[in-house]
Amino acid sequence: MPQMMPLNWLTLMIFFITIFYIFNNINFFIFSYTPSKIVTPKKTNFFNWKW
């Protein structure tokens, strides 16, 4: 029935948007970044300027 097609498109759009949203959230929160524990010492150069 053609009268029901807009409702069908709307439900499909809502369905795919929710699936997309859930998929992106799962990919965002499942990624666990472990930063490296290596600490590099800061090297400071002291210049003694003699004017």
* Run of H or E including 26: helix 5-30
pLDDT of amino acid 4? 67
pLDDT of amino acid 24? 96
Residue ranges covered by each domain of the chain? 1-30
Distances (CA, A) of 32 to 7, 21, 25, 35: 40, 19, 13, 10
Q: Is the pLDDT of residue 30 over 80?
A: yes
The pTM assigned to this predicted structure is: 0.54
